[in-house]
Structure 1
Amino acid sequence: MVSVDVCLLFFFMVFLDGHSKVSCNCNSSSSQDQSGKIYHLVNDTKNWTDAKSYCMNNYKDLAIIYDQRDWGEALAAVRSSANEVWIGLHNETQWMWSNGENATFFHWEPSYENKSGYDCVSSFSGKWRSDNCLLKQSYMCQIVTNTSGIMKKTFVYKNMSTMWDGAYNACTNISGDLAVITTMDEQNMFINTAPNNTSVWIGLRRNIWRWSSGKLPKCIPGDDPNNRKSCIKIKDKIYLTPDNCSTSSMFLCYSVTTNGTAQFTNSNVNATVPPPTSSTFKGTHSYNLTFINQTKNWTEALQYCWKNHKTLVHIVNDTVQDYVVQMLQNEVYPNGVWIGLERNMMFMCAPWLWTGGPYVHFSNWSSTFPVDPISQFCGKIIGNKTNWLDAYCGEELPFICQSKKIKQLLISIATTY
């Protein structure tokens, strides 16, 4: 399994009922989302840099994917291909500002520029230090205003301790950014705002995942410890995987239109699978729950439920929880049973979700939860009371499918096991 520091798990909402196909022309297949992006699968192979140049010359750029709708449309565009496909997420190894600007001005404290493994920057008494991104320190935001065409930058000190990515998110949440210092005048303004003898995060970082547009993901993913696989592909139509940027692959571009109407051609695909050993519990007109007494990893279980039912079970309230307890009372499952709980592997700040995107409001977590928040991103139920627990997604367990009709299906992007 690829290290979880570089494994990427996103939750992609696809507005489908069944399986979707997209129309194709001779060179590419396209999918358009309702916010105006159109994704184009280019049936040619290039390295990541050349693919980006091709997209910029012929479309807008390599695919940038900011939200669940984007993910659904991007995946619809690549569904017709069995090949690996570049997208616009890559790792920047050089010092860059969090707003996407290249760093040309520096104010390092001597010997603090290139400390190995220290990829974020703080300022201490006006001098910059490369620091461990996981340290909790205060931070400096910047707010940029435009008054009658005159741009004004204001630094705002925040006396709250957080890691670098927490500081970045806090500043962007107030429509700002972490402090970007590009001239000596700005450095002096920063010094006049920051307290003395205090470490303060600024917006400079290296070895960071970034979209080809320069924008950072909302949460900051981990870095490739070998610093070799620095560009991201869609693999097997649903997986995201890092690879060497010099590898030649097909790629996904995007363009922008002001007329954002999504168009799909739907077709139903009937999967042929051996009949499982299962028990079905029909306790309500809304849910048709089926216990599948076959052992699969979480991703395989989800794919099985897609093909034969609708999805892994969502336990959204006490009623469904009670149904699950009754269903399993005569079953033997010593290591647990998969349910439709998952968490974003790429981002440590990601919440638990049900497949399809709903947040977890009702919960029945075990007293031992979480077992391993660093490397366990899928949910199972255990014990006679069917408490919930986080689990390693590659574990092989029986599972429960539900056959409720849902138009919002999750496509889960996971690493290979």
Structure 2
Amino acid sequence: MKNWTEAQRYCREKYTDLATVDNMHDMNEINQSVNDGSVEFVWIGLQKAGHDEWQWSSGEPALNLSWGDKQPEGRDICGMIENENLGDLPCYDNRHFICNNTNTELVFVNQMKNWTDAQSYCRQNHTDLVSVRNQNESQQVQQLITNKKNKSQVWIGLFRVRDSWRWSDQSDSSFRYWKSHQPDKYGLGEDCTAFELKALGRWHDISCSQTFPFVCHEDAELILIKENLMWSEALRYCRQKHMDLVSVHSKEIQRRVMNVVKRASTAAVWLGLRHSCTVGIWFWVSGETVCYQNWAPGNGTSEENCEHTVRSGAVQSGGDQRWISRPGNDKLNFICSRL
């Protein structure tokens, strides 16, 4: 039982963040978490950002919210969930809460590489160099390398661009775990970050040209399949071996898709996005409506040609990785979701 701010801090330290509810799938997962009926009014990562504007704890705007009757009341700025409906409560109330867990698996690579080569290796073989976004993820990295002999320093995905530090996979996090008096060489070429086991997992800024082992991460929920199949064949493959073709219903999922799709062998990769000629709309095979959109110019917004074949949605594997409309009988790589 914590107030909203305490709950947010707890989730960021132990997991990833307070939960987001972007779609009906998220709503169903949360309901399953509290389905014994003994808990009502559960904090999620929803907070008022301005007049009639709400945002998630991650900073993303919260759109198409499923508010309960007479909610939000307008007096309070923190969001909760009760019986599939959202509402607002005073932020100082002590309530149960739900955290998002991490979506990544860690891979230790026992090869001596400079930071740039380590980044290239992770992107080619996994997703990217690891991001360490909270104390829990830091402990996971530490546990991974604790039993590796003489591996006192390993690369992680934090690097400096001008006057700011960024994660290689573009994930957002203000969490930093620097060793005392670090970073200490601003402007002197120490623009990459190593995880130092002897310093209890604290970080050290080091010249990117030095060579260390490194830790990659890969998405535990999204799987790139490097087989060239038609859209309907890809859908069948995902439903038989995993769960479904991926639905991209938020900016966060798009970011993860962009990380996964870089390793594709085709110029575009199938998504679980289909066009209905009957009603003239695009829809996700998971049943979600297409609210968040990331179409390339000239795609997805004009009338589709239904004369020869059904059109399906794909994401570009290069460039700015936007969505494009393709004939469903094209043969492409595809992304399956495990959830």
Q: TM-score range by the shorter chain?
A: 0.3 to 0.5
Structure number with higher relative contact order (C-alpha < 8 Å, ≥ 6 residues apart): 1
Question: Greater Rg, structure 1 or structure 2?
Answer: 1
- Bigger share in helix: 2
TM-score after normalising by structure 2 = 0.32
Structure-1-length-normalised TM-score: 0.27
